[in-house]
Structure 1
């Protein structure tokens, strides 16, 4: 018999659906990270949350489920310590095991309805969108709590995915009633200025925080601009 992996957050630490939705409404800065092999993901998560990150998603297609669960468990503990939330990408089974606050899906993953059927009413479900038709579908889908729009600029984290540009952000800003995030190649400076000018109030970043020498300081700079 093998030892069971450290599956996770105690159920007593789980947030209600209402509290998760309240935090989502207030969220401005969302970070995606890999499992940070060879590094301390708990230390990174604590620094990023301490700098003002609202949600951290572990997205790593190179690791097995047990390693993903271990990484998410560390991020979950940091999230609870900072009044923040953590997200699972793509794997509904993993999301259920770790008691995820947020489950994020792409256009070719589970449908929002399928994810809701598996995870229940209290888990926040987010969807990636890359065109106005997909924004419209996410906005009208009762199982989608938020959506992401992008990539605004081409990015190595999404190889082969064409940039959608700024005009799609303007469309989302004009019509969305749900929380939404701009994503793709965004960093402090001119690019952040451009997405804010287009009407985005929330962003997802990867390298701007995950590859920063000081993740807390990088997060703090972004969060100060986002309000």
Structure 2
């Protein structure tokens, strides 16, 4: 299973403006393909039922539900806190929350990590100090696994900055949970991510520049997104035909004869 990338939604039913399921439906309509189920204060039976509902929402677009904590609630993807457990469980996808290089150095078999807070966050006020983009870039270079940027990410410009610093995506909570239109907000953030990871060619046929993180290009969601269809991001562009016709064979040099 590939690590999460793009815009990853973290849930919080207590701040969801219009009900958690409606927020997730809107976020998915806007291009989100990864959701992390938190809600740790629910009884396991209620949390499991919620996991079933969210997986059904994601199933139509090939999305994935990741469960916060070591119990995958019937799935095979979990996101662990920095404090443990160690060693991590052997699920198909395991992520961990980290905040500094020391915590990143403890990673063993995890597939990805979040680092936070990049900016001050309304969800956890006073939590920090913020890493800022320079700190995020430093952790990306030190990390043995791909990183998601978390904390205070609310605008397309911030998404772009995180990707340019080397993150494979951003994890967001408040900006979508509190959004009056989760679909539009998600579409704006997802579009910024797609723009940031789409190679820009200087001329037809030129070799594209590598994406951040040692040449690893994050997975860009394309299914179910009318925004992607309108913008054409992620689609190969036809090559422009040359005026001089097909290339002519080269003459052998004197050394080759």
Instruction: State if a TM-score over 0.5 links the two structures.
Output: yes
CA–CA separation in structure 1 for the residues paired with 2:103 and 2:84: 14
Larger radius of gyration: 2
Give the superposition deviation at 1:28.
Answer: 1.1
Structure 1 partner of 2:28: 49
Q: Matched residues in 2 for 1:108 and 1:187: separation?
A: 27
Where does 1:24-103 land on structure 2 (aligned, <5 Å)? 24=3, 27-35=5-13, 39-90=18-69, 92-93=70-71, 95=72, 98-103=73-78
**Contact 1:149-1:168 at 8 Å conserved across structures:** no
TM score, norm. by length of structure 1: 0.75
Alpha-carbon displacement from aligned partner over 1:67-126 (angstroms, at most 9, x marks no partner): 212221111111111111001112x33x1xx32342011112312x2x42xxx442x110
* Comparing 169-178 and 80-89, the one that deviates more: 169-178
CA distance change for structure 1 residues 203 and 38 in 2, over 3 Å: closer, same or farther? closer
Shift of 1:185: 0.6
Q: How many residues align?
A: 192
- CA-based RMSD: 2.3
Aligned mate of 1:147, from 113, 121, 125: 113
**Stretch of structure 1 that moved more, 27-36 or 217-226:** 27-36
Higher helix share: 1
Query: So what's the TM-score if we normalise by structure 2?
Result: 0.67
Name stretches of at least 5 consecutive residues in structure 2 with no aligned partner. 195-257
> Conserved in 2, the CA contact under 8 Å of 1:86 and 1:102?
yes
Which of 106, 112, 128 aligns to 2:97? It is: 128
Gaps of 5+ in 1: 1-19
